[in-house]
Amino acid sequence: MQKKWWKEAVVYQIYPKSFMDSNGDGIGDLPGIISKLDYLKDLGINVIWFSPLYKSPNKDNGYDISDYQAIQEAFGTMEDFDRMLEEAHKRGIKVVMDLVVNHTSDQHKWFIESRKSKDNPYRDYYIWRDPKDGKEPTNWGACFGGSAWQYDETTGQYYLHQFAIEQADLNWENETVRKEIFDMMNWWCQKGIDGFRMDVISLISKPDVYEDGPINTGDGYSGVGAITANGPRVHEYLKMMNKEVLSKYDLLTVGETSGVTTEEAKKYAGSDTNELNMVFQFEHVDVDADEHGKWTMKPMHLPDLKAIMSKWQTELEGKAWNSLYWNNHDQPRVISRWGNDSEEYREVCAKMFATCLHMMQGTPYVYQGEEIGMTNFPFTEIDQVDDVESVHIYDTYVKENKEYTHEQMMKIISKKGRDNARTPMQWDDSENGGFSTGTPWLAVNPNYTVINAKSQVNDPNSIFSYYKKLIRLRKEHEIIVYGTYDLLYPEDEKLYVFTRTLGEEKLLVICNFSEETVELPEDLKAMIVEQKGILIRNYSEESEKIRPYEAIVYQL
Ligand code: NOJ
């Protein structure tokens, strides 16, 4: 297997709005981030991925960009960015930018021009269609609810938006659009950034023929993401991007690819396909979805999760590269979602999930606050929620089609909504968790007095110290990065057991996903008798049996 720096790296994701506020306006910013770089160096991560820092009207918290070459005022200036880049590099930390080029904000100068007239030079930068029988061109439904088409009175046509109305889809068919994007990417690379995380990149190539899809969203539309995913020219576009930009630098590139299969991933992130380094797949985070999509309390069934993770581990082996994640700014906190965030189990549980993920093959991503075991937020009212997606789904299911009661929906939002990940980082036990001296834009989780970074950085038994150790082990043991993966006991509903192998070396990873104390199967006990040592474990004392949420890694 070819060795690469980005295969050996651990990435830390910062959601800038919620990381650290330096000026008391309740919004995180670049000077705040700079002040915490030593914390990240101490953790040992090699790369930071920044959710969008660009100028944006913030309809979708920066994923609606109005200027790709300017910094959002609330975050600071371009000088602050340059200083942050320099300070990060000084500490050996690389910087990966979010790249949101499926769509722009409707406030981007290209769109402002585009909507002016049918013959405007920017008209063809976006996707415009005539009405069909006086209605939307197709029945496609936007990811955040309603139609994916928005009527514009000025010209009597509809434009496509797969996300919010204010996020208009760019027309990748247009060569000039591609050139503008590639020029902008080169501009950032010239500045010295180290990579891109590419937002919904699997959705940029639209179908050849625009026709109705099967109706399947809660409000009677057809989910557009399923229709546009892995479109006819997506690989051609990425190969162009690779040639014009990516191949010229030594970058980490990761595509966010909803709807991706392992077969498709081998094209996006194949070692010889000249597109990206790796993709974020969604199958494992969709494991607890049902006919309501993610908006359900359906529990996770461990054999299903293991089957998905293992498929990705083995099918990409030697052909493409995995990204590894439980959390990000779109996912609820995993310990609240599939684990146990009670006082009794939160710590061991957080360490168990970390062990399971960090012992797999691929590049691990740590989402801010994960390293201290932050949890979901106890939302009870919809006005506590900022996220455009949760607000839309509340309106659809509670107000419009009455699928759920207010109480049911709030329970689901507290379990699955994106704001669970977006509450401010909990730095210490002072007011607002030390995030801001002003009023935070989104409430701080009330558990900040117990869960905060300050209480953990110097405690050798903390979750933070455990992550530190996992990250260090990855640097010390090649087998963790490059070893092959084999799943044991696929049907076991409590234990996730797998091995990693590199040459003569072998690791055995045992994780208990349940609250029960479990007897190990005899053949596993026999393997353990032969062990050469323990690499890491989340309980200190020995035990015959595997305790609730126990994780242990043996060297065989
Ligand atoms: C995926 C991003 O991760 C999410 O936060 C955003 O809302 C959509 N793409 C639209 O850009």
Quote the tokens at residue 342.
């009670």
The two counts, helices (H) then strands (E), for the chain are 19, 22
Contact 280, 256 (CB under 8 A): yes
The atom number, within ligand 1, closest to the CA of 164 reads 10
**Edge-to-edge order in the sheet of strand 484-488:** 484-488, 495-502, 505-512, 551-555, 533-537
* Burial classification of residue 107, based on how many CB atoms lie within 10 Å of its CB (0-12 exposed, 13-18 middle, 19 or more buried): middle
Residue (of 35, 41, 70) closest to 56 by Cα position: 70
Contact 369, 258 (CB under 8 A): no
Beta carbon of 60 within 6 Å of any ligand 1 atom: yes
- Coil, strand or helix: which one is 436? coil
Alpha-helix runs per DSSP H in 229-345 = 234-244, 262-268, 302-315, 334-337
Q: Which pLDDT score, from 0 to 100, does residue 220 have?
A: 83
State the Cα angle at 266 between 263 and 270, rounded to 5°: 170
- Coil, strand or helix: which one is 91? coil
Q: Which pLDDT score, from 0 to 100, does residue 219 have?
A: 76
Beta carbon of 163 within 6 Å of any ligand 1 atom: yes
The atom number, within ligand 1, closest to the CA of 388 reads 7
Spatial distance between the Cα atoms of 104 and 126, rounded to a whole number of angstroms: 9
The atom number, within ligand 1, closest to the CA of 163 reads 10
How close is the Cα of 368 to the center of ligand 1, in Å?
A: 17
Spatial distance between the Cα atoms of 487 and 101, rounded to a whole number of angstroms: 37
How close is the Cα of 334 to the center of ligand 1, in Å?
A: 19
Quote the tokens at residue 125.
């930068």
| CB-based contacts of 434-438 (< 8 A; 24+ apart in sequence) | 435/18, 435/20, 435/21, 435/28, 436/21, 436/24, 436/25, 436/26, 436/27, 436/28, 437/21, 437/24, 438/21, 438/24, 438/25, 438/26
Q: Which residues are catalytic?
A: 199, 256
How close is the Cα of 450 to the center of ligand 1, in Å?
A: 31
- The pTM of this model reads 0.97
Quote the tokens at residue 184.
């902008």
Helix axes 346-358, 463-476, angle to 10 degrees: 20
Beta carbon of 330 within 6 Å of any ligand 1 atom: yes
Contact 129, 160 (CB under 8 A): yes
Residue (of 58, 12, 63, 2) closest to 33 by Cα position: 12
Q: Which pLDDT score, from 0 to 100, does residue 541 have?
A: 86
How close is the Cα of 546 to the center of ligand 1, in Å?
A: 39
- Coil, strand or helix: which one is 318? coil
CA dihedral 464, 465, 468, 474 (to 10 degrees): -120
Which amino acid belongs to residue 221?
A: Y
How close is the Cα of 71 to the center of ligand 1, in Å?
A: 18
The atom number, within ligand 1, closest to the CA of 63 reads 11
Beta carbon of 199 within 6 Å of any ligand 1 atom: yes
Backbone region of residue 508 per phi and psi (left: phi > 0; alpha: psi in -120 to 50; beta: other values): beta
Walk along the chain (556 residues) in steps of 10 and give the mean pLDDT of each run.
95 98 98 98 98 97 98 98 98 98 98 98 98 97 94 98 98 98 98 98 97 85 94 98 98 96 97 97 97 94 98 97 98 98 98 98 98 98 97 93 95 98 98 98 98 98 98 98 98 98 98 97 93 96 93 97
Q: Which pLDDT score, from 0 to 100, does residue 47 have?
A: 98
Spatial distance between the Cα atoms of 9 and 6, rounded to a whole number of angstroms: 5
Taking CA atoms, 149 is separated from 107, 135, 220, 472, in Å, by: 17, 10, 14, 49
For 210, which DSSP code?
-
Contact 227, 213 (CB under 8 A): yes
Spatial distance between the Cα atoms of 449 and 502, rounded to a whole number of angstroms: 43
Q: Which of 65, 163, 256 to mutate to test the pocket of ligand 1 (most atoms within 8 A of CB)?
A: 163
The DSSP H or E segment spanning 109 is helix 109-114
Q: Which pLDDT score, from 0 to 100, does residue 216 have?
A: 78
Beta carbon of 29 within 6 Å of any ligand 1 atom: no
